[in-house]
Structure 1
Amino acid sequence: MNVNKKYMPTYHAHVSSGWSNDPNGLIYFNGKYHMFFQHYPHKAKWGIMHWGHFISDDLIKWEEAPVALVPDQEYERQCGCCSGTAIERDGKLYLMYTAAQMDLQRQCIAYSEDGIHFSKLDNPLIDARNLNTSDISPKDFRDPKVFKKDDTYYCIAGTRMMSEEDYQNYIDFVSNQNENKEITIDDVASTNFYAHGYGNLVLLKSDDFNNWEYVGPLLTKQENIQEAFYRLNGVYECPDYFEVDGQELLLASPQNLLQIGYRFQNLHSCVYIPGHLDFTTGDFHPEYIEEIDSGFDFYAPQCMKMTDGRYVMIAWKEMWDRTYPTESDNWIGTYTLPRELSYKDGQLIQIPIRELENYRQNEVVAKGMILNGELRLEGVEGNKIELEVDMEITTASRAGIKLFKHGDHEVFIYYDQKEQLFVFDRSCSGIEIGGREIDTNIRKMPWENKRIQLRMFLDVSSLEIFIDGGKKTMTGNIYGDPIKDTGVEFFSEDGECIIHSVKKYDIVVEA
């Protein structure tokens, strides 16, 4: 394929050609960090899934390795090798992934001794029809997250729960199909598998990694969580589970989650749920549920524990069912910066991985300015930069920053004091991005503190915003003129704001 690289970021992981989506199997193995990802190498559209593969020494500078998994087996033939996880066992790297067909999703395993070349076992390994439960939909049973606790392996996967009537409808549908006719998505869409069902997560366990048994559904306890989360019209995709700073966290990407106030404005969402997992029943006892990122382009986050104990998270920096401006450039798919995770004062904190500071150059610092109007600072510009801003809104009605600015192009990041909202507005950034949501170009988030500390990372077509030390984040893609759209301008409307400090760094990652 002839690839146009004009929108490719310089310090974010991205596919070199074709399509990519969910990150899979973040792991440290054989002295390297590995990130696998959903990939269709033949075209910049979703297709039969492969597992792409990135390798890095520091989670910043990535090298694209050969494709790790190719859908070359009969059980993978319709949809491919879909999302999953990685785990080291007996000195080998194991990948558990979903082999997907239109009417059936099963879990499979491949392994490698060198971390590059993988062999598949006698798959499929886990079939919902063999787990002695009608809870799990065999059609929607995917994205396994595998981990070991004490001497037992556990797997959390997304599904849609079924009543016994739903399950029988599914069995009847499959048994009545013509063996010589391939089942299509239209065939499946016309069925009534989920008349009484809803999205959920399920827990499985194994003593030997090969023989798995069903434990139970996770989301059964409705205390502290609204009913919408227990009647989800979709699947909780790409789950993750870990403990950080003494707090158990469950992460997932629920499909079609209804908007609640200013939360969950995207078609599909990403949430974290603090709580406690009962490994004997599968029940997860939640404390609350919250959105991970309040921007436009963030999905399917996956986490790993680094060699020094830090937990980091990387997500797909896109969203489903949107228009993708790089499709005509023959590539789609970027990933967020790795984010260090902590849990403080009852809240998930996300900050950019500290290794990124090794790539800073050309520091510019400015301090102590009172602004009423517009201001540009010498040396504070660029679209491959880190920008730190500490500002306080005093009498202004709105105050903030215009990024990626040139001519009619600009991205607004500001605080609306009257409405007490923090706003990310990309509606004037260049190419408009369409989608199934009501609005795909403005995101608003309630915010009461007039003193706002921001760390913003601009990378050609990417913007990640970390607010108040990582208490909130907003992420979005920007498609303007990557050569000219480098301006940075501060503004204050109908009054004053104080700019306590500004720091700008170029981020330079050599190819």
Structure 2
Amino acid sequence: MNTWSREERYQSLDDVTPVTLEALKEQVASSAYRQTYHIQPETGLLNHPSGLTFYQGTYYVSHQWFPLGAVHGLKYWFNYTSKDLVHFEPQGPLIQPDSEYDSHGAFSGSAFQYNGELYYMYTGNHRDKEWKRNPSQMLAKMDSKGSINKFPKPVISGAPTGYTDQLRDPKVFQKDNSYYAILGAQNIDYRGRLLLYRTEDIVNWQFLGEVKTQLDHFGSLWECPDYFDLDGHDVLLFCSQRTGPDGERGRKSYQSGYVIGQFDIEQLSFNHGEFNELDHGYDFYAPQTFVDESGNRVLIGWMGMPATTYPTDDEGWAHCLTLPRILNIEEGQLKQRPIPQLKKLRRNKETALGYANKFERQLMPYDGTQYELIIDILDNEATELYFELRTSKDESTLISYNTHTQHLSLDRSESGALPKPVEVTNRTTRLVNPLTQLHIFVDTSSIEIFCNDGERVLSSRIFPSKASNGIKASTESGQVYLKFTKYELSSDAQQEG
């Protein structure tokens, strides 16, 4: 992999010739791992989804973007619009690092409406000559033509006393007659924290203080916070870096999760239950939520991880966004379900009924590389179930389930080229209820697994060869009666499935 100098990482688009950009686009377009129905960068590196909103009949979805290579460098916001959250139209850079305050990157932020108009609040990253970071929280307004006009000065400058320069990712929300911004932070003892600000006019923001949680020693930096009320509960999402060993959760140096409870905003106190990961796969970070046109709380995440090298890096691009998910709380559990509009991607339908047992790795009567697969478990007498996707003689992405312990695992150790470093080769989660269904979305280089109608989700990038397109099922002992429903998926499909 190429080594990037600081100067190369902080080149702007204006510093690069059209010929160089066109050559990079052609290189990226020729990648065998390009997705077919996920948002992915036209070039360079995609990361944190930002500014997600539904405004005047249109969805706006942006992500952080370094256009010149698969490294973290000078960040822009690249924007898409959509009418259905399934088909997206690229609009190009929305927020550019072109001011004194965001000269070294336009970092994550959120969208909100004020007096019927659309605004964005984001973190501007500026470095001085000694390379010291100076974070600022910036405002920008979208005009009637879709252009962005930045406010001339930050609305929040620097970090308050007692905190480091790691202040970032404002998520703006309205409560009663006030607007609030919750930000990720790090205190001077290098502990992750969340800070809250309030305004009545969106320009003058008052620092209220630190949100008190029961997670005082959890991680060295918190980022990408999100607060909302859902089905009568208060929910707080955030990402935590370098959380250290702690059972299954400790398998990741970067975690993305949530707590459910009650937020006393006047006392800055969040009384909550345990921290739970949002996604139990290998590649999921920096999610953001918003409310869709029907009033649903929808989540989109970054299907990638910090400090990880992916097989596409040498091709000049990296990462994608997850499919949108609807969130609900049912019986105290957070459920995540794929949005029903994804049925528009379906091109055909195939079904199969049959038994699988330990004596035969049953090959399903169809294959594919971009599809939606629903596996209904109708009768299970086996102790262990195995489902192999994108399989061939040499490669396989393995989903396994232990009937007795109710542990479900995703193993991509033989799924093709692997990201590096490889922290673990098997990601496992314990289901609350016995497994009755897997709802799986497979794209060219990704898999998203929804278990038991959204009880658990596992999202991962996989990089198999095109020839690895089989689907198999088997058991450890006993047999299982299964129903397979498969749809080929394409972003060109328009009909309802």
TM-score (norm 2): 0.89
Matches of 1:331 and 1:370, distance apart in 2: 40
What residue number does 2:209 align with? Answer: 216
Question: Which piece of structure 1 moves more, 316-325 or 86-95?
Answer: 86-95
Match of 1:42 in 2: 68
**Residue pair 1:389, 1:499 contacting (<8 A) in 2 also:** no
2:86 paired with 1:82: no
Aligned twin of 1:488:
471
The AA in structure 2 aligned to 1:342 is: N
Q: For 1:70 and 1:489, how far apart are their aligned partners in 2?
A: 47
The number of residues matched between the two structures is 461
Letter aligned with residue 110 of structure 2:
T
Contact 1:311 1:340 in 2 (8 A): yes
Q: Which residue is equivalent to 2:352? A: 366
Displacement of 1:202 after TM fit? 0.9
- Pick aligned residue for 1:378 from 336, 340, 365: 365
Q: Does 1:292 align with 2:278?
A: yes
Distance 1:148 1:417 in 2: 45
Q: Where does 1:41-120 land on structure 2 (aligned, <5 Å)? A: 41-78=67-104, 80-101=105-126, 102-114=132-144, 116-120=146-150
Indicate conservation of the 8 Å contact 2:310/2:418, yes or no: no
Residue 329 in structure 1 maps to residue 315 in structure 2? yes
Deviation string, structure 1 residues 53-100 (Cα, Å, up to 9, x no partner): 11111111112112011111122223x110111112233221111011
Question: What displacement does 1:205 show?
Answer: 0.3
Structure 2 counterparts to residues 389-468 of structure 1, below 5 A: 389-391=375-377, 394-417=380-403, 420-435=406-421, 438-439=423-424, 441-447=425-431, 449-468=433-452
Q: Is the 8 A contact 2:345 2:492 kept in 1?
A: no
- For 1:115 and 1:269, the matched residues in 2 are separated by 38
Does structure 1 retain, via aligned residues, the 8 Å contact 2:400–2:410?
Answer: yes
1:374 is matched by which residue type in structure 2? Answer: R
Question: Does the 8 Å contact 1:88/1:94 carry over to 2?
Answer: yes
CA RMSD of aligned residues (A): 1.9
1:201 aligns with 2:187: no
Give CA-to-partner distance per residue, 1:347-398, whole Å, 9 cap, x none.
Answer: 100010000012212211123525332111213x212111111226855443
With over 3 angstroms needed to count, the CA separation of the structure-2 counterparts of 1:115 and 1:68, relative to structure 1, is farther
How far is 1:128 from its partner? 4.0
Aligned-residue offset at 1:338: 0.1
Deviation of 1:406 (Å): 1.6
Correspondent of 2:38 among 4, 9, 12: 12
Residues in 1 aligned to 2:463 and 2:482: alpha-carbon distance in whole angstroms = 30
Displacement of 1:333 in angstroms is 2.0
Q: Can you give the 5+ residue segments of structure 2 that lack an aligned partner in the other structure?
A: 1-23, 127-131
Mapped to 2, the partners of 1:387 and 1:36 lie a distance apart of 28
Q: For residues 157-182 of structure 1, give each alpha carbon's deviation from its aligned partner in whole angstroms, at most 9, with x where no partner exists.
A: 01112xxxxxxxxxxxxxxxxxxxxx
Aligned-pair identity in percent equals: 31
User: Which residue identity lines up with residue 473 of structure 1 in the other structure?
Assistant: V
Determine the C-alpha separation between the residues in 1 that align with 2:456 and 2:350: 25
- 2:238 pairs, out of 252, 255, 258, with 252
2:330 is equivalent to residue 344 of structure 1: yes
Whichever residue aligns with residue 488 of structure 2, its letter is D
Letter in 2 for 1:464: E
CA distance in 1, matches of 2:435, 2:83: 37
- Describe the shift of the 1:103–1:305 C-alpha distance in structure 2 as closer, same or farther (beyond 3 A): same
Check conservation: 2:350, 2:485, Cα contact below 8 A: yes
Relative to structure 1, the CA distance from residue 115 to residue 42 in structure 2 (aligned partners, 3 Å threshold; closer, same or farther) is farther
